[in-house]
A = this chain, B = another copy of it.
Amino acid sequence: MASLSQLIDDRELAFQLYEVLGVESLLSRPRFAEHSRQTFDAALEASAKIALNVFQPHHRKADLEEPHFVNGEVQVIPETAEAIRAFAESGLPAAGNDYAQGGMQLPWTVAQACYVHFHAANVATFAYCFLTIAAANLIERFGTDDQKRRFMEPLLDGRALGTMCLSEPQVGSSLGDITTRATPLPNGTYRLRGTKMWISGGEHTMTSNIIHLVLAKIDGAPPGVKGISLFIAPRKRLDANGQPGEKNGITLVGLNHKMGYRGTVNTVLNLGESEDCIGELVGEPHQGLPYIFHMMNEARVVVGMSAAALGMAGYRVSLEYARARLQGRTPDAKSSPRQTPIINHADVRRLLLEQKTYAEGALSLGLYCAFLLDEQKTSPDEEQRKRSTLLLDILTPIMKAWTADWCLRANYNAIQVLGGAGYTRDHPVEQFYRDNRLNPIHEGTNGIQAIDLVGRKISIDNGSAFAELVVAMRNDLQKAAGVAELTKHAASLAQAIELLERTTAPLAAASKGKSAGVDNATLYLDFLGHIVIAWVWLRQAAAAVSCSKKNPALAEFCAGKQHAADFFFQRELPSVMYKAGILMSGDDLCSSMRDEWF
């Protein structure tokens, strides 16, 4: 069994926040006036401690002892509830919320950095928490003050956990086809009827209530996505004092048993089958889809963050193993009587370097996305707010899908470093790999992300999101061009951006309404993803160059960053060339394949 050690390097988070993003610049905003680097660091430190002490120890147990029925109730191991309680008591669920709501009013960037510790330590337990944070944010944004008091506050202070009830058995990706109905009642509430599928955290008794956010169609609503409304339906209805009282008509129909993420109970729920399920409308009728997409876009970044955190965790475990495990000899010492630590084998270093570049690249992009959200919300400059919104729009599918795929690959490498041992349940890496395998699926499959990118994001607002991305990348190029250590990378990236521009224009045109446009959507996402991650590595390398001058104690850490950047630029970025070739060829091999030929 691997010994318990912190899975996320404190230096890494500090480097990303202070050296790469310069998150201290946010301290000048009125919203963050009471903060300082000290308060940020205190939140990070508290997070690391709770994650290590309360989340990590039951990582394996939660996997082995899945939630199951006992006397008709869902039983979850007690450690999960304890961890969720500790998280709530720390105040971290409301890290980003207003002081007035009992929050810490931290930048979202810092909150996300704190959460990295929890994703890495126990993603399945933390899933309850991040769903709850997402639900609270949704009510905060679109709910009434009364709804915030009755539903958001319990989510933030630990009295309740939240869920998202979107999918149904016949509907996953195609939300316009949901059939859950909402019938208005005289008192202004609604009676909900339907079946919801894949609901994480859908049933348990770990908290005194569960707040479900439910998509349904009001009787007589327009067809398709324009008829979707958003409702709050608690597991237990609130009594006159706002306390959980009698049960609402939400019945557990079954549990889904998954390959990973086993600690998170995943349910099929029936609403209003035998007893009434009463829900409250959130915001306006038929506006459910834009509301849920507000949440979904944040959730997609969070999915990417969890993938990055699992990538980081696997990297750390396999690095420690590679330093300790003796096996074989290097080519220049073949007759040595003693075996060498496997970290000295070139191919093991490759396995580690790939993990480092994928996971730290993903982490850096995720924190950048969080930073854009802070800019969007708090920048005094309207243009800057608009730019941040556009950038976040186009980066979100990449943060979700590229990160999920490549950090899964990082976990593949982590297993490979451990060899046969990595394939056993004695080490956590096989569990990271199984847990991470969900990330390319949930919150919109990676294929959906690619179609969103090609079919919508590259052309929205006359292509201005894409244009902003190119401007942002070129800004960093200009800064890098004058730094000796970076000129070569800057030139490579400049070339890749030219290729990107030439590739994107015809694709954006072709994607309008025809199959051909989406034929190569996934290839395009991967292509753009690698360019974006190269850019992110250029930013990291630039920060490393200046940081190692300021702080000699970090010289080796920074040398590692520069070497990893070299690795990504020399071994990964070149793959964009051949992908551009395919993209520009107008290849329609997917849509021209016929069903009967398979």
Task: Name A's B-contacting residues (CB within 8 A).
Answer: 167, 170-174, 177, 197-198, 256-260, 319, 323, 326-332, 334, 339, 343-353, 356, 412, 415-416, 419-420, 422-426, 430, 433-434, 437-438, 440-442, 445-447, 450-451, 455, 513-515, 517-519, 521-523, 556-557, 559-560, 563, 566-567, 570-571, 574-575, 577-578, 581-582, 585, 587, 589-598
Query: Which residues of chain B are within 8 angstroms of A334 by Cβ–Cβ distance?
Result: 513
Least CB separation from A425: chain B residue = B257
| A245, chain B: closest CB distance, angstroms | 33
Q: Is the CB of A570 within 8 A of B597?
A: no
Query: Which residues of chain B are within 8 angstroms of A563 by Cβ–Cβ distance?
Result: 589, 592-594, 597
Given contacts A346-B515, A563-B593, is CB(A419)–CB(B173) below 8 Å?
A: yes
Q: Is the CB of B556 within 8 A of A425?
A: no
Q: Is the CB of B423 within 8 A of A258?
A: yes
Bound Cα distance from A348 to B446, whole angstroms:
11
Bound Cα distance from A295 to B342, whole angstroms:
26
Least CB separation from A575: chain B residue = B578
Bound Cα distance from A174 to B445, whole angstroms:
42
Least CB separation from A353: chain B residue = B593
Mind listing 9 A-B residue pairs with CB under 8 Å? Answer: A198-B420, A259-B433, A260-B423, A319-B598, A343-B598, A356-B598, A416-B447, A523-B571, A574-B582
Bound Cα distance from A263 to B450, whole angstroms:
38
Contact partner, A518, options B346, B442, B560, B597, Cβ 8 Å: B346
Bound Cα distance from A237 to B557, whole angstroms:
59
Query: Which residues of chain B are within 8 angstroms of A567 by Cβ–Cβ distance?
Result: 589, 593
Q: Is the CB of A437 within 8 A of B423?
A: yes
Least CB separation from A597: chain B residue = B560
Query: Which residues of chain B are within 8 angstroms of A556 by Cβ–Cβ distance?
Result: 594, 596-597
Least CB separation from A319: chain B residue = B598
| A408, chain B: closest CB distance, angstroms | 8
Bound Cα distance from A559 to B570, whole angstroms:
39
| A170, chain B: closest CB distance, angstroms | 7
Chain A interface SS verdict (over half): helix
| A346, chain B: closest CB distance, angstroms | 4
Bound Cα distance from A430 to B433, whole angstroms:
12
Least CB separation from A198: chain B residue = B420
Bound Cα distance from A521 to B331, whole angstroms:
13
Query: Which residues of chain B are within 8 angstroms of A326 by Cβ–Cβ distance?
Result: 170
Query: Which residues of chain B are within 8 angstroms of A353 by Cβ–Cβ distance?
Result: 589-590, 593
Query: Which residues of chain B are within 8 angstroms of A259 by Cβ–Cβ distance?
Result: 423-425, 430, 433-434
Query: Which residues of chain B are within 8 angstroms of A430 by Cβ–Cβ distance?
Result: 258-259, 437
Q: Which 9 pairs between the two chains have the least Cβ-Cβ distance?
A: A560-B597, A259-B430, A174-B328, A347-B447, A574-B578, A346-B590, A349-B590, A350-B590, A257-B425
Query: Which residues of chain B are within 8 angstroms of A174 by Cβ–Cβ distance?
Result: 327-329, 339
Q: Is the CB of A560 within 8 A of B441?
A: no
Q: Is the CB of A442 within 8 A of B420?
A: yes
Contact partner, A419, options B172, B319, B416, Cβ 8 Å: B172
Bound Cα distance from A38 to B455, whole angstroms:
53
Least CB separation from A574: chain B residue = B578
Bound Cα distance from A575 to B585, whole angstroms:
15
Q: Is the CB of B173 within 8 A of A327?
A: yes
Q: A167-B420, A570-B582 are in contact. List 7 more A-B contacts (CB 8 A).
A: A173-B327, A174-B328, A197-B420, A319-B598, A332-B514, A419-B445, A571-B587
Contact partner, A348, options B167, B348, B416, B447, Cβ 8 Å: B447
Q: Is the CB of A575 within 8 A of B575?
A: yes
Least CB separation from A170: chain B residue = B326
Q: Is the CB of A330 within 8 A of B426?
A: no
